[in-house]
Amino acid sequence: MKAVMFDMDNTLLETQVLYEDAHVELAQLVNRFGTFPEKDVVETLRAFEVDLFTHFGYGKEMLPQAFENTLLKLVPNATDALVDEARGLAYNVYAREAQLKAGAVEAVTELSKHFRLFLVTAGDDDVQQGRIAKLAFAHLFEEIYIVPEKDRAVFEHVLAKAGLKPADAVMIGDSLRSDVHPALEAGMSAIHINAQNWAGREMAGLKLPENGVASFTNVLDAAAKIMREAGVASAPALQPRNDNQAGAPQSAPQKPQQRKP
């Protein structure tokens, strides 16, 4: 093993909670004009999100449009000001700072001492660059890739640019659709991080591969596994935490280059 690729959202950062909080805020806004169970509002919103993904992808306009559509479906006579307020709740998600996941700093720092590191994240370029700029360990990644969507071709491109063979690299990420399966299709290894994410898009209809792909709730355990299999002694911070999971969830340093395959 020569290289480790990391996803960012819900792997290194607690991103999904920002979206879940905004979902609740929209439900509260809608309930100014009627009695709508929060669960029903959120389910309506999530359906719009999945539907709109076909057009917007991970672009930052998808969420505001889903919020607007949900509001107008449940409150058909909503004023323009109310629509703007709903869209504002969505845009606020991008302005809020996502917290680092427990163990992220230790895992990335220790792995950087022994392997080439790459960050491969999907999403809106402006939004992702803003989040990356706040990563204190961003300089530890040899290169950072922000892509509209991750698939086999993206991983093949990253490998080719780095002069790596598929067997040389492992991908760590929370999404079966965007991280695990496309990395395996590219011939790489993969480790799944069992985390809260956009399950309606990232997990729907997929199962953890039955070919030895490990799933952990903590990125520290993923790092420890890589170190162990590479025959590298782990630092105390990377000692196994015994939270391996059997299945997927339901639900000012020098800046590295950022590339768009």
The rounded distance, in Å, linking the Cα atoms of 112 and 227 is: 11
> Among 200, 216, 218, which Cα is nearest to 248's?
216
| Phi, psi dihedral angles at 118 (to 5 degrees) | -135, 145
Domain pair 3-14+98-259 / 16-95, same fold? no
Q: Which residue has the tokens 């491109």?
A: 157
The whole-angstrom separation of Cα 128 and Cα 121 is: 8
pLDDT value at residue 238: 60
Using DSSP's 3-state secondary structure scheme, residue 128 falls into: helix
The percent helix, strand, coil of the chain (3-state, each to 5) is: 50, 15, 35
Dihedral angle over CA of 217, 223, 226, 230, nearest 10 = -160
**Host H or E run for residue 108:** helix 104-112
Q: What is the pLDDT of residues 216-232, one digit of tens each?
A: 999 999 999 999 998 88
The pLDDT assigned to 198 comes to 67
Q: How is domain 16-95 classified at the architecture level of CATH?
A: Orthogonal Bundle (1.10)
CB 49 within 8 A of CB 62: yes
> β-strand 99-100 against 215-216: which pairing, if any?
unpaired
DSSP 240: -
pTM of the model: 0.86
Q: In whole angstroms, what separates CA 213 from the centre of its chain?
A: 18
DSSP 68-86: HHHHHHH-TT--HHHHHHH
Q: What is the pLDDT of residue 141?
A: 98
pLDDT at residue 236, as a whole number: 60
Residues of the chain below pLDDT 70 = 198-205, 234-261
Whole-angstrom distance, CA of residue 51 vs CA of residue 47: 6
Q: What is the DSSP letter of 210?
A: T
Asked whether 240 and 229 are in contact (CB, 8 A), the reply is no
Helix (H) or strand (E) holding 254: none
- pLDDT at 97 (0 to 100): 94
Question: Class of 3-14+98-259 per CATH?
Answer: alpha beta
Domain boundaries, the chain: 3-14+98-259, 16-95
Measured from the Cβ of residue 49, the count of other Cβ atoms closer than 10 Å reads 22
